């Protein structure tokens, strides 16, 4: 679950996690991966978004984990389901998916007090080549950002990798919403923007845990919030895609805690 960027924010101290703490986060991450896989497989024409929410709750319960989002800041569902021009924080309900839709699924889980957060965007049936390209570029941008999450690199290196790839391919990164640190809380320092101007030069240390989450629009980067106080959508009505992993910084390559 992304967080609204705070301009000019000075980052508080960023905690590192021990081996046992990372192991608990990895267990939470496995739940996130399993839920997102089951939801992705269930996405099809005729499915109501509220059915995906029910499936997320059941799957997490089967695995002995607690969904992070339900009740968090008043959010009313277990999973964010954002469709087409909805960027993030879509609230599941009676909406019926139709062929050609793009569906972003964002889910968090808690295991023994430790959290993980992940997101994917999936097609409903056949989609246009331009929509498929949006998904591909956003997914690639996520992994390019993750590749920078290693000891000695800086937060701005993650942002540069994401922004550069997205803009070279003719898309735009959302400015108002960013990734975040994560651990015992869903949102911890630091903020993890997807563009350089807002990113700090914080040096990454082994044991830091970050939710890296490119949010990419086919049109303008500008977004607006719905009257429900949660859902953000593109201001120009263009499609949006969202991919996210929770990662642990290491001296070599980042460890993806939400990998299957």
Q: Model confidence over 21-62: pLDDT tens digits?
A: 999 999 999 999 999 999 999 999 999 999 999 999 999 999
> Which of the residues in the chain have pLDDT under 50?
none
Tokens 């339900």, located at residue? 70
- Residue among 224, 202, 104 nearest 158 (CA): 202
Domain boundaries, the chain: 12-256
Write the CA distances from 88 to 57, 128, 230, 247, integer angstroms: 19, 21, 8, 20
Tokens 């939400």, located at residue? 258
pTM for this entry:
0.96
Cα gap 148→144, rounded to integer Å: 7
pLDDT score at 12:
67
Q: Is the peptide bond before 190 cis (omega within 30 degrees of 0)?
A: yes
Cα gap 252→88, rounded to integer Å: 31
pLDDT score at 6:
76
Cα gap 245→145, rounded to integer Å: 10
* Residues β-bridged to residue 150: 250
Tokens 């993890």, located at residue? 192
CATH code matching the domain that covers 12-256, chosen among 3.90.230.10, 1.20.1740.10, 3.40.50.800, 3.40.50.720:
3.90.230.10
Asked if 97 contacts 240 with a C-beta cutoff of 8 angstroms, the reply is no
Evaluate the CA torsion angle 110, 192, 38, 96 in order and state its sign. positive
pLDDT score at 7:
67
pLDDT score at 13:
85
Helix (H, G, I), strand (E, B) or coil at 216: strand
pLDDT score at 5:
84
């Amino acid at each position: 679950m992304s967080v609204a960027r705070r301009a000019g924010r000075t980052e508080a101290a960023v905690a590192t996690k021990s081996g046992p703490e990372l192991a608990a986060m990895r267990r939470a991450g496995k739940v996130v991966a399993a839920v997102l896989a089951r939801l992705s497989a269930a996405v099809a024409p005729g499915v109501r978004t509220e059915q995906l929410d029910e499936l997320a709750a059941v799957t997490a319960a089967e695995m002995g984990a607690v969904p992070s989002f339900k009740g968090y800041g008043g959010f009313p569902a277990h999973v964010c389901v954002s469709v087409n021009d909805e960027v993030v924080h879509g609230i599941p309900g009676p909406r019926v998916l139709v062929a050609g839709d793009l569906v972003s699924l964002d889910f968090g889980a808690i295991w023994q007090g430790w959290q993980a957060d992940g997101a994917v965007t999936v097609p409903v049936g056949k989609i246009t080549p331009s929509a498929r390209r949006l998904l591909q570029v956003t997914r690639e941008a996520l992994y390019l950002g993750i590749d920078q999450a290693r000891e000695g690199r800086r937060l701005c290196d993650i942002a540069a990798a994401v922004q550069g790839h997205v803009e070279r391919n003719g898309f735009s990164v959302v400015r108002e919403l960013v990734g975040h640190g994560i651990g015992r809380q869903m949102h911890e320092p630091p903020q993890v923007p997807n563009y350089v101007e807002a990113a700090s030069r914080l040096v990454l240390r082994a044991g830091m845990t970050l939710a890296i989450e490119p949010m990419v629009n086919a049109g303008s980067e500008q977004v607006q919030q719905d009257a429900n106080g949660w859902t953000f959508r593109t201001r120009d009505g263009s499609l949006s895609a969202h991919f996210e992993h929770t990662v642990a910084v290491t001296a070599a390559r980042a460890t993806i805690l939400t990998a299957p």
